Chain A
């Protein structure tokens, strides 16, 4: 079946604009995760969803960042009033958490966001 799909694959926008990033998880995966990866760095946890609720929003860098998930499926990550330091690759992953904690996460190819 299809893997995790993210769109757009690349996004270039001007500082101050809002952007919306989309993630389509693997069908049936109840858990969904957003990460940020700066150039040459590891992944930084942003937020995760269990179903449609987000128990842990502690990783969101500021109140300019928000995320939602509907129908235990698609999720969107919104960044308002973008700043240059928001430039990074934003990665989404999903997992079948109903099987317990010891499940691998399946990643999309990410959205490369560049703020001019």
Chain B
């Protein structure tokens, strides 16, 4: 079943602008992760935020998590043409030790126009 829903489905902005993508989910989670996928390639892990964290930064990326609203956002600042890709949120609703079972959203297709 699809846990995450992403908004918008597609986003087109000018190079240098900021891009914001949102993700909502349905159940309690252990952590939420964001991945990027370039066309025809596998997914690349961007950032992981745990359920007890509210905000996390990595370079030009900023992720927020609001567990009361079951939502997360990914902000990419000062966008570049190379940021053009699909972005997916994924939730890990499991607990304890052991491997994850990530549930992915449908993704946001981001296009950066030069």
Residues of A whose CB lies within 8 Å of any CB of B are 4, 30-31, 33, 35, 41-45, 48-50, 55-56, 91, 93, 95, 97, 100-110
Q: Does B69 contact A (CB under 8 A)?
A: no
Interface residues of B in 22-47 (CB under 8 A from A): 30-31, 33, 35, 40-45
Interface residues of B in 70-114 (CB under 8 A from A): 88, 90, 92, 94-107
- Interface range, B side: 20 to 34
* Contacting pair B48 A91 (CB below 8 A): no
Docked CA distance A30–B100 (Å): 12
A41 contacts across to B, CB distance below 8 A: 106-107
Interface code B39-67, partner A: CB below 8 Å = 1, 0 otherwise? 01111110010100000000000000000
Docked CA distance A103–B100 (Å): 8
